[in-house]
């Protein structure tokens, strides 16, 4: 039984994340989507909203026999991975610019906890430029994010920005 943690901020989840989850499900028997609770980083969506968006978005993909769990965690990722008995940390890489940061994290995580492997998957080419940050910026400035995020996220974005 192979279990992986797919950690991230997911503020909000994008179709790029979903693509990694769907493909990651083919590699692992269990996938835990770990939302980082980071009080130092100002987020657009609350943890609960992010959890709900992820939950709704999962209905849009085919996870086969692997049923992804959605959790949140605080503190060190490797500590959480050990607590949850995970074998691996799953991360997506879009461009070479991601590589440096991801390499640093993977090596630090390996130093802290050699038992946990980091597994990288190349982002689907259709999403290689998509990030939560850009999606929020484009939407806020009136651009379309159609096809870049799950429907549930578009709906939430609309209500979030009509409130402010
Ligand atoms: O979606 P993100 O913001 O790129 O995800 C970053 C994340 C959550 C993977 C990273 O910030 C993280 O692992 N944070 C937990 C704290 C930690 O373990 N820091 C040391 C990393 S070497």
CB contact at 8 A, 10 and 33:
yes
Mean per-residue pLDDT of the chain = 96
4/95: higher pLDDT = 4
User: H or E stretch including 89?
Assistant: strand 88-93
93 Cβ inside 6 Å of ligand 1: no
* pLDDT tens digits, one per residue of 23-55: 999 999 999 999 999 999 999 999 999 999 999
CA of 10, closest atom in ligand 1: 1
Domain that residue 49 falls in: 3-163
Establish whether 94 is a catalytic residue: yes
* Candidates 50, 94, 136, 156; catalytic one: 94
Cα 148 → chain centroid: 14
Residue 163 banded pLDDT, cuts 50, 70, 90: low
> pLDDT-based confidence at 164, cuts 50/70/90?
low
- Model confidence over 117-134: pLDDT tens digits? 999 999 999 999 999 999
Cβ atoms of residues 93 and 120 within 8 Å:
yes
CA 92 / ligand 1 centre spacing (Å)? 13
pLDDT of residue 6 exceeding 90, the answer is: yes
Confidence of residue 67 (pLDDT cuts 50, 70, 90): confident
**49 contacts: CB under 8 Å, gap ≥ 6:** 12, 156
Element of type H or E holding 4: strand 3-8
Asked whether 131 lines ligand 1 (CB < 6 A), one says: no
Span from the CA of 22 to the centroid of ligand 1 (angstroms): 21
Residues 6 or more apart whose CB falls under 8 angstroms from that of 35 comprise 7, 8, 9, 10, 47, 50, 51, 54, 70, 71, 72, 73
- State if residue 77 touches ligand 1 by the CB under 6 angstroms criterion: yes
CATH number of the domain enclosing 39: 3.40.50.620
Q: Which atom of ligand 1 is nearest to the CA of 132?
A: 1
Distance 145 CA to ligand 1 centre (A): 25
Count of domains for the chain? 1
User: Counting beta carbons within 10 angstroms of the beta carbon of residue 97, is it exposed (0 to 12), middle (13 to 18) or buried (19 or more)?
Assistant: exposed
| CA of 10 relative to ligand 1 center, distance in Å | 11
């Amino acid at each position: 039984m192979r279990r992986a943690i797919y950690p991230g901020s997911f503020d909000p989840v994008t179709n790029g994340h979903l693509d990694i989850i769907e493909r990651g499900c083919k590699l692992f028997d269990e996938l835990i989507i770990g939302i980082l609770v980071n009080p130092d980083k100002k987020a657009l969506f609350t943890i609960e909203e992010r959890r709900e968006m992820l939950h709704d978005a999962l209905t849009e993909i085919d996870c086969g026999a692997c049923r992804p769990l959605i959790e949140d965690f605080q503190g060190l990722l490797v500590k959480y991975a050990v607590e949850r008995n995970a074998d691996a940390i799953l991360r997506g890489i879009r461009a070479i610019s991601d590589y440096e940061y991801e390499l640093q994290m993977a090596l630090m995580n390996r130093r802290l906890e050699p038992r946990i492997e980091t597994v990288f998957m190349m982002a689907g080419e259709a999403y290689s430029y998509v990030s939560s940050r850009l999606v929020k910026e484009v939407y806020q400035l009136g651009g379309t994010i159609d096809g870049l995020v799950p429907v549930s996220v578009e709906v939430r974005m609309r209500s979030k920005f009509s409130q402010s």
